Structure formats: structure tokens, C-alpha cells
Structure 1
Amino acid sequence: MTDLIKKVVTSHRWIRNSLISLFVANILVLIGKDGWIEHFKNPMHYLDMLVTFISVYIILEYIDQVNLYLNKKYEWTKDTFKRIILQLLFAIIVPILLTILITFIQWEFIWHQDLFEHNYFKYEFFPQVLLILIINLFFLVVHLFKKGIPTEKDLNISRTPFIIGRKGGKKIPVQISNISAIQLKQGIVYLITFNGEEFLLSENLDHFEKTLPSSHFFRANRQFIFNREACKSFASGTNGKVNVVIFPAFDTIQVSQKRASNFRSWING
């Protein structure tokens, strides 16, 4: 159920942004106007709506992209001061300037009106600034909501805090937090701990990919699943692959080209 909620919140960005833009465009077009019903009967109202919708969508999409980038590079809880400065500069000040530019182009070349003569800065500018602030708040809430919803895989770390491994004829529970990697080698699945111990496992890698918490573990290829905490370094490899060095010392693990993009998103949190 939590996976479904998270998917609804994070997917179909263009639909979400389009609906928000339509709503905001309606507000901006009708600000300061009396007789709203009469405006809906005027064909020029819909041209105004279309132009305003496109303008709002451009601003909204820009703020969305800025937030996506900053969320990966500067997490609110880890780089708070730097994130506030960058958020203020690139997600608020730049959109405000962009809004003024788009509005000027719209008034000058579509409506053939002077921005200053019609008191734009007195009546329309401040509502636009307020909406930009609200949009930023919306994306912050969405981000915190995403971070706060555990997936079904993540819940497994509390439901099943250990995996049963076999060694020397004994079955030994191994804490999930102590697992560095799970490796398929010569048809046998091994669990490797941060202490360098190896245990035999009965299930295949597909099983552990589904059951281990995705926030902590990543399926690199057909042979390896590894813990985020085990990643010592990574670098771009040939043919779009990613080379990852994990602890304890292994030969470099190659993240397949198919999974490379997902890895970069995953490692950035």
C-alpha cells in the first residue's frame, strides 16, 4: 500500500504540474476582476488563460527541476544552511525574475500594453511572488512526504531484521545492518558481512532484491547486491556502466548499463 501511495505522489509529474498550472493560471487571470461568470463568456478570456497557463507551467517546471536537483545534492536535513541559500537564489529569486520577463513579453507582444502603465507591480506582481513561495512550499512538502513514507521493502528491515545464513552445518542469523553484500558465485549465493565472514544462503538473488530494503541495498547486476554503507567509491566505467568499490575489499563491481541511472539516483538518496 505504501509503495502505491509513493508512486502516486512521485509519478506523472507533467500531469501534476499541468493541473497545478491550470489552477494557478485561473487565479492570476481573475485577480482584480469583477463578474467572473461574464469573463468565462468572453473568448479573449480563454486566450488569456492559455497564455498564462503556458507561462505558469514554464515557471513551475523550472522550480520543479531545481528542487529535484537540490534534493539530490543538498538534502534539507544535512546541508540546511547551504540548501536555504540555494533554494532562495535559484528556486525563488530566479523564478521571480523569470516571471517578470515572461509577463513583460506577454504584455508587450501579445496584448500590446505597457507593463508599468497598468500597475502590474501594484496588483499582479505580489500575488505572483506569493504563488512562487507556495509552489516551493508544495515541493518541499512532497519531498518530505516521499522521504517519510517507507516502501514495503523498507518495512522488511523491521519485520525481518536478520537473514538466516549457513556455515559449518549451522544456521546463523545475520543482522541485515551487518550485511555488506550478497553474491552469486559459481551457482551458489553467499552473504558477506562487514567483518568479511561468508555464509551460504538458500534463496536466490531475486528473492533478496525483493525482500531487502531498497533504501539500503542495490542490485548491481546478476551477481551482486550490496549495502549502501559498503560503497567506498564509484566511478563511470565503459559503455555507460559504473564501477563500484565496496567494503570489505572486493574486485570492482560493475553496475550494468541498464541499472546505472538507477544507481546514481539511489546513491544520492
Structure 2
Amino acid sequence: MEEVYRSGDTIYINKPKANKLAYTEYNEELFKLLKSYTWSINGDYLRSGKLNKYLHRYVMEFYYGEESIKEADERGFVVDHIDNNGFNCRISNLCFIPNDLNKAKGLTFDKRRREMVDDLTLTFYKDFKTGQFQITISFNKEFVYVHEGKVIQVDRAYYLYENDFELVLNDASKILQQVQKNGEFDETKLSHQKMLYVPSTYIELKESEKEGSIIERNGKHYLILNDKVRLGKTPLNLDIFNNTDVE
């Protein structure tokens, strides 16, 4: 298998000897550039010796321009991997933030997020086209949302924000803190501009299905959440960026 290859809308850089796979969104020009260099593992990141650049910084330079990298360096900013995975170099997972905030995020938010996967999986992204952020949540335990006086149990939720990393991080941290302490969070205390939720699906299980993790109904497959099965990261919901009917 080639070191740099495309699969669907993703570019992968494969390092099989180290059992590592780095990736970013597919862009034809970027794909050609990445294929023209050799990438090696340097700590928790990929780096090109010929370029003398890390992959995540090269991706940011490609999208935002060389001047943006220089300005970030001059201001003491770093390129943060929002999900704390140095091999996830999707542009939606990268953001310029102050070095002090990057360190604080790793010691507080990222640590708490890892501790709470039994309750929920929370992450956030930055949309390159709009500059907006989106928090996405997958609930691994029962979570109730009250909407117009109706109580609705939900599986996933999406919160849209303008271009303010610190505000988004504060809200994401607030959600984790409140769920850890109270088992729920107060949505009215958040600073989002829009939100979407996906209601839970209730299905009566046959006796033969109760020990499994996936069932099929009318051609659709459903994941059964239990003590051993958890939802992973929820990707961006693109509808929320342009849907004016979203609250």
C-alpha cells in the first residue's frame, strides 16, 4: 500500500511499522503535495524532514496561508488538535490558539472528556468555509431534553457557535462539568446560536437480540447501547450551518 493514498473524502498517510495512520480532508492539490514528500513519526505527530514542517502545520499553511502561520508564531499561538489526536490533521480538527490555552485544555478539558465516555462523547470542530464552530455530543446514557414543554430523550445533539474558540471551549467544559456533577446540563446557560438534536429510537427487542449490539429493522441497522457498547465521536452536522429553521 502507498504511504499517501486517498479513500473517499480523506487523505491517509500510512505508517504500518509504527501502527499509525494520519489523515486529513481530501483536496486534489493538497493530495499531490503530500504525495511528493516523505513523512516520518516525530513524537505524537508526523513530520517531513525535507519540508522541515509538521503535517498539522503544513495543512494549516495550505488552507490559511503562510502568513497566518507566521502571525500565529509571532503571537505565541500554536496549532491545536481539538480532539487531542496528533494524527488527526483534518482542517476541521485544527485551530490556532494561545500556547497557554493549549496547555490548560490538555490538563483540564481533554482529561475530563476522556473520563466521561461512559456518559457521553463530546467534541467540537471548526468549519473552514464558515469559520464557525460546532459542538457535537453522543449520549451513552439516557439524556432528556425539554423543548417547548415537551420532554424528549435524545441520542445526539449539535450546538453551533461563531468563531470564538475560548467561548466554545468554555461551553464544552461547562457541559462536561455539569454532567459529571449532576447527570445533566442546563442548556439555557450555554452561548450557542443554533442547536439540533436527534431523538432516541425505542425498539422492543426479541429475546434472541438482547445479547447482541446491532439489530436490523426494515433494512435499517440500530446500535444497542449497553454497558459494553458506546457511541463514538459524532461528525459535523452540515445542515446546521445553513438551516435558518434551527433554533
Q: TM-score range by the shorter chain?
A: under 0.3
TM-score (norm: length of structure 1): 0.22
Q: Which structure has greater strand proportion?
A: 2
Q: Which structure features the higher share of helix residues?
A: 1
